[in-house]
Structure 1
Amino acid sequence: MQTSPAHAAHHEDREIETLEEFDAVVSARGTLSGFRVQAVDLTDRTRELLTTDTTGAVFLGCRMRPDAEAKTRADGALVLPPLPGLPFDPYRGHLYTPDDLFASLDKGYEETPDALAYAWFQRTRADGDIFASMLRAVHDDSMSDALDELLRGARVVGVMGGHAMARGTEEYRGAARLGRALARTGFTVATGGGPGAMEAANLGAYAAPYDDPVLDEACELLAAAPSFTPSISDWARAAFEVRTRWPKGGHSVGIPTWFYGHEPPNAFASRIAKYFANATREDGLLARCNAGVVFLPGAAGTVQEVFDNATPNYYESRGKPTPMVLVNRAHWTEKLPAWPLLRSLARERSMEARIALVDRIEEAPEALKHLLG
């Protein structure tokens, strides 16, 4: 699970998250002692488990036959078995893909793993079950661990903005072009993983490997279902139609939450770290944007993200302040005047040289480049 930076490399050397990794370790080392095996189906590896030392190993949600399980327990291994009946795997070793979360979409969004996990969350949150709370925490820590592994060495730029931005609008197309420009520059685009501005930025990164007209065509297709209300199913199907037509999209990350259950994840982030705890998700999203954040117009959630990001920049608690680019002067100085407060906070501090306000979304990549130096 999550490890401190000082021990991260050592612990990752001991993590096994796929059957291929399991086979490689058994073959090369001849022992599983001290290893952590995470959510791997080992029902066809009974012989290996019976003949390999598993002293001090940890098996998290691994399926195995009864005789293999009995032997590993006798060795002194910790075995936490899979939990039947859950719509998610709390020990999951990898981030989600859109196909994972939207499986069974042909039967309606309500039948997808994403919707079923939210329904489970609503039930268990209401009754205050400590076991369910523990499962949510384990799942979220698994997400953080997988996200750290995915983003190691990446230059990550966050794109924040409201979920209400409709497909088919010029604002949506602008956010998509921004995501494309950032991806083509070599950044990994990270968003809150939901609809609206978040989807647009992930879409832009998805379209980055294709010629420019593809993004315009994709936006036209999506405009047939402009919002996730009233039908999440129609909204999601339009996205998968785009993915089917252009199947080799670029990579980006979405980091959504089941806390906002009315808000589905978008299908254009290639990897999705979905959390139950919104506070963990918010802090983790911003903390991983090591190359800066672009803030598009949004409401309360986006305002919160501006100052969630400003706080560690102000105190330099994460080292050198990361760039912050706010887009749309009227929005951030008149409608929701976050910019004057941000500028006042930054005055005479090192973050002062790392913030910018631009009028148009097309100016954001150059402003970010300037702030990065």
Structure 2
Amino acid sequence: MGNPENAREFEERRQGPVLRRREQVQPGTTDQRLLDTEGDSEWVHTDPWRVMRIQSEFVEGFGALAELPSAISVFGSARTAPGTPEYEAGIRIGKALVDAGFAVITGGGPGAMEAANKGAREAGGISVGLGIELPFEQGLNPHVDIGVNFRYFFVRKTMFVKYASGFVVLPGGLGTLDELFEALTLVQTGKVTRFPIVLFGTEYWSGLVDWLRDTVVAQGKASERDLLLFHVTDDVEEAVSLVTKETGL
């Protein structure tokens, strides 16, 4: 009789496009596992199943936003309190974007996002919120007309860029910085074109701009022209003009 270990050495099985050999060969077939109703539910947490969830999120997002008119994404802190100058600026920006003919897209949460959605709704425009599943409950703010909740940040980020013609970035924290630098990288590398980015609030953003110029660019980690990828302003009308001027509307 042959050596079982030698037989195992040459064992292989194809499962669709996947080839498994030796110890990685799985008993049964894919159909058997699909039709087997017994066993635990751990399969819903496997990577292949996650791919289907990711795909479904793209499909749902594309379907919900495909007929959206030209839009601008507005970012900012969820911790911005109502009644503060930053919150009021968000409302004015949301209104001004609608008056300029644009829908407003935010992360759908409270704070600066809520302010921009509120401004868009009060101006009679389309107010969109793209939420994200978080460990703490946040939910979509009441001023969102079209809302989509996502499990995965990278799917949500795709929607922000795909369905917006530009970004207005209000003062915010790590999430806001993440979206900002994602957009800057996409523009810098030519992945998106004609995509203006406006930072609103010179006092808040000046330290970051100084660091980019005096450290990042000065040490050769970025080019001087990269500082032209964004504009900084304190004026709502200027912010809206800058972020919409390249859209052709």
TM-score between both structures, scaled by the size of structure 1:
0.48
| Deviation (angstroms), 1:283 | 2.9
| Amino acid in structure 1 at the alignment position of 2:197 | M
Q: Aligned AA for 1:333?
A: S
Q: How far off its partner does 1:275 sit?
A: 0.6
Q: Give the structure 1 partner of residue 178 of structure 2.
A: 304
SS at match of 2:149: coil
**Corresponding position: 1:173 with 2:88:** yes
Q: Is 2:70 the partner of 1:197?
A: no
Cα deviation, 1:139-174, whole Å, max 9, x if unaligned, reads: 4133223134232xx221110101001122232122
2:133 aligns with: 258
For the residues of structure 1 that align with 2:63 and 2:140, how far apart are their CA atoms?
18
Q: 2:212 — aligned with what?
A: 341
Rounded Cα–Cα distance in structure 1 between residues aligned with 2:85 and 2:168 = 18
* Secondary structure at the counterpart of residue 67 of structure 2: helix
Task: Confirm or deny: 8 A CA contact 2:133 2:150 kept in the other structure.
Answer: yes
Unpaired stretches in structure 1, ≥5 consecutive residues? 1-123, 210-249
Opposite residue 59 of structure 2, the aligned amino acid is S
Match of residue 358, structure 1, among 228, 233, 245 = 233
CA spacing shift, 1:181–1:260, aligned 2, 3 Å:
farther
SS at match of 2:225: coil
Query: Which runs of 5 or more structure 2 residues have no equivalent in the other structure?
Result: 1-40
Matched, 1:141 2:16: no
Pairs aligned (count): 201
Give 1:370 shift: 4.8
Q: Give me the whole-angstrom Cα distance separating, in 1, the residues matched to 2:101 and 2:135.
A: 31
Contact 1:156–1:188, Cα closer than 8 Å, also in 2: yes
List aligned pairs for 1:197-276, cutoff 5 A: 197-209=112-124, 250-259=125-134, 261-276=136-151
State the Cα distance separating 1:252 from its structure 2 match: 1.9
Tell me if the contact between 1:160 and 1:294 (Cα under 8 Å) persists in the aligned partners.
yes
The yes-or-no answer on 1:129 pairing with 2:129 is no
| Residues 178 and 139 of structure 1: CA distance in aligned 2, closer, same or farther (over 3 Å) | same
Equivalent in the alignment of 1:283: 158
CA drift of 1:359 comes to 2.5
What is residue 156 of structure 1 aligned with on the other side?
Answer: 71
Shift of 1:256: 1.0
User: Share of identical aligned residues, percent?
Assistant: 28
* Residue 188 (structure 1) shift: 1.2
- Given the superposition, is the C-alpha separation of residues 346 and 184 from structure 1 closer, same or farther in structure 2, using an over 3 Å criterion? farther
Higher relative contact order (CA 8 A, sep 6+): 2
1:324 to 189, 197, 222: 197
Q: Deviations over 1:251-275 (max 9, x none)?
A: 1211111135432211212111211
Question: What one-letter code is carried by the residue in structure 2 that aligns with 1:191?
Answer: T
Larger radius of gyration: 2
SS in structure 2 of the partner of residue 159 of structure 1 = strand
Distance change (3 Å), C-alpha of 1:338 and 1:192: farther
Deviation, 1:138, is 4.6
Q: Provide the secondary structure at the position in 2 that maps to 1:274.
A: strand
The letter of the residue matching 1:170 is P
- The separation in 1 between residues aligned to 2:105 and 2:203, in whole angstroms, is 25
- Output the CA distance in 1 between the equivalents of 2:172 and 2:210: 13
- RMSD between superposed Cα atoms in Å: 2.9
Cα distance in 1 for partners of 2:168, 2:112 equals 11
- For 2:225, the aligned partner's letter is E
CA gap of 1:251–1:370, structure 2 versus 1, over 3 A, is closer
Judge conservation of contact 1:314–1:321 (CA < 8 Å) in 2: no
How far off its partner does 1:136 sit? 3.3
- Quote the Cα distance in structure 1 between the aligned partners of 2:136 and 2:57: 16
Residue type at the aligned position of 2:224: R
1:232-282 CA-to-partner distances (Å, cap 9, x unmatched) read xxxxxxxxxxxxxxxxxx312111111354322112121112111112112
**What is the rounded CA distance, in whole Å, between the counterparts of 2:148 and 2:209 in structure 1?**
28
